[in-house]
Amino acid sequence: MTLAVAELYVFILAGFVGYQVITRVPPLLHTPLMSATNMISAISLVGSIVVAGSDRGTLSTVLGTVAVTCATINFVGGYIITDRMLKMFAGGKKS
Amino acid sequence: MSPEALDGRTAFISIAYLGASIAFILGLRGLTRPETARGGMQLAALGMIGAIAGTLVNHDIVSYGWIFVGLALGTLLGWPLGMRVAMTQMPQRIAISHLFGALAATLVGIAEYTHHVWGGHELGRFTALALGFEVLFGALTVSGSFMAFGKLHEILPGRGITFRGQNAVNLTIFVSAIGLLGYVVFAPTTSWAFFAMAGLAFLAGFMMVLPIGGADMPVVVSLLNSYAGLAAAATGFALGNAVLIICGALDGASGLLLSVLMSKAMNRSFSNVLFGAFGSAKPALAAGAKGEMKEVTLEDAALALRYAKNVVVVPGYGLAVAQAQKIVGELAALLEGHGNEVRYAIHPVAGRMPGHMNVLLAEANIGYEKMIEMEDINDRFADVDVAIVIGANDVVNPAAQRDPSSPIYGMPVLKVELARRIIVLKRGKGTGFAGIENDLFTEERTSLLFGDAKATLQRLLTELKTL
């Protein structure tokens, strides 16, 4: 099995898992779901950190640093705002 | 990764990435119940921190200065975007974070491409395809999200902008970008084609959202979520990184599912939202409005609510615009103090994004167990003593079920007209967002209170306290 095929397997299986999990998320939590996936999308840091730090020339360093900044904004801001929302729901039975 | 390369560091990185992938999936699973959701997100955040730590020990990194500048700057800017944004601004907040996510993916894609092509490294066709997809979806999402943000934040006109031959123009731009992508795969080192493709994709994002009106934004925002995910997955293919592929797939699946749900709730197909330009359509002058709208006095409305055993509040976007959620919560608490049951009927597109109305009500300290989804409450409206409709119009329009000539015919709506008594809070005598007449307002059992929702609710609350 070539690497590309293995990657395709991972992609399709992860998509399948995602579909199965996300169909079970109630509409009540669809906004937090969206901000949560936004937070998770900050995983692009694993790519941008390497680009910013591997000294491949000025252009790469600049692009990498901006990318690290953008992804970190999504991680920090996304986590805080998702938690703010979920805190409101966590209370549950209150009038 | 070959086995002989598996030294300590590499093993640590692999374990960190695997751990992150598991944490993200479990984190999303936590979101299936409100009680487990917070814990799930904490786990996901830990997974992310682990993945960042793993990446920092990567062999290729030679200097850390700029990495920490980026991490610090991102934290500094992300903090207020998390703490200060109001819940009513969630849709534009989400749109702007799609922009950041897609921008990060696009820039990494461009950096990787130039590193290969200008740095004299070999660039295989598969990697070229992955990088091409990454930049194509990334650039499209950056400009599309910017437009969505601008429209939702009202710095751009909210109405859709259309012109003759728009779909043909958009299609040409999009097909040209795809064609250039094909050329890049055929000849990976032709950098002009790569950058032209990126430019066209960027243009396509603007053009795609240009004709779409405010009411259709829930679908667009969800779809952009999906595109941002696909861009991230493509990054994973290009870098041979499984955790990126997994996250991209999760993101893509989530966005796609939400856009399908939103389209269904509006009774529209994807292509209709993207190419139909509904928001700018001329209001259909339906023959509707057969009867007169009957106004009710505050005193009568207060009496009806006070002596209703069960009350259903039907919130629409007008409620959020008037910032009246807190007063609704107070009103409900007062009625519940008298032993009346109060519940909330939530239409999927009551807000400006999926689940938006639930968040707005939760912010007003309303327990989530009282928020009932449309399918669950529709069978029970006949047992409802008083349904109070606040700032909602199209989502409660019975014509969607009765009148095949109505522009919204077939759209799932809340069957408020079945309730024993209906009180509608309405700003004025005009029609709703889609400009469609609503027979509910002239129904025999319906009475109306005109005026700003917040002010009317405040007066209603004062009146109720005297009873």
What is the three-class DSSP state of B231?
helix
Residues B346 and B450 in one domain: yes
Of B38, B97, B222, the CB nearest to A78: B97
Structurally, chain B folds into a number of domains equal to 3
Residues B181 and B319 in one domain: no
Instruction: Look at residues B51, B84, B117 and tell me which one is the last residue of a structural domain.
Output: B84
Residues B305 and B187 in one domain: no
Residues B172 and B128 in one domain: yes
Q: Whole-angstrom Cα distance, residue B93 to residue B90?
A: 5
Instruction: Specify the length of chain A in residues.
Output: 95
Q: Give residue B417's domain range.
A: 298-466
List B216, B251, B385, B394, catalytic entry = B394
Please report whether residue B289 resides in a domain. Answer: no
Q: Are B85 and A76 in contact (CB under 8 A)?
A: no
**B294-348 residue pLDDT tens:** 888 888 999 999 999 999 999 988 888 888 999 999 999 999 999 999 999 999 8
What is the three-class DSSP state of B156?
coil
The answer to whether A9 contacts chain B (CB < 8 Å) is no
In chain B, which residues have pLDDT < 70? 1-6, 273-291, 430-436
* Whole-number pLDDT of residue B120: 82
Is B383 among the catalytic positions?
no
Q: How far is B432 from chain A (nearest CA, A)?
A: 24
In chain A, which residues have pLDDT < 50? 93-95
pLDDT > 70: what percent of chain A?
94
What is the three-class DSSP state of B372?
strand
Please report whether residue B52 resides in a domain. Answer: yes
Q: Are B254 and A29 in contact (CB under 8 A)?
A: no
**B11-21 residue pLDDT tens:** 999 999 999 99
Q: How far out from the chain centre does Cα B386 lie?
A: 31
Residues B79 and B97 in one domain: no
| ipTM value | 0.94
Residues B95 and B80 in one domain: no
Question: Which residues of chain A neighbour B249 with C-beta distances below 8 Å?
Answer: 10-12, 14-15, 18
pLDDT > 90: what percent of chain A?
85
* Whole-number pLDDT of residue B282: 42
Residues B65 and B104 in one domain: no
Instruction: Look at residues B84, B112, B142 and tell me which one is the last residue of a structural domain.
Output: B84
Q: Are A24 and B32 in contact (CB under 8 A)?
A: yes
Q: Whole-angstrom Cα distance, residue B445 to residue B441?
A: 9
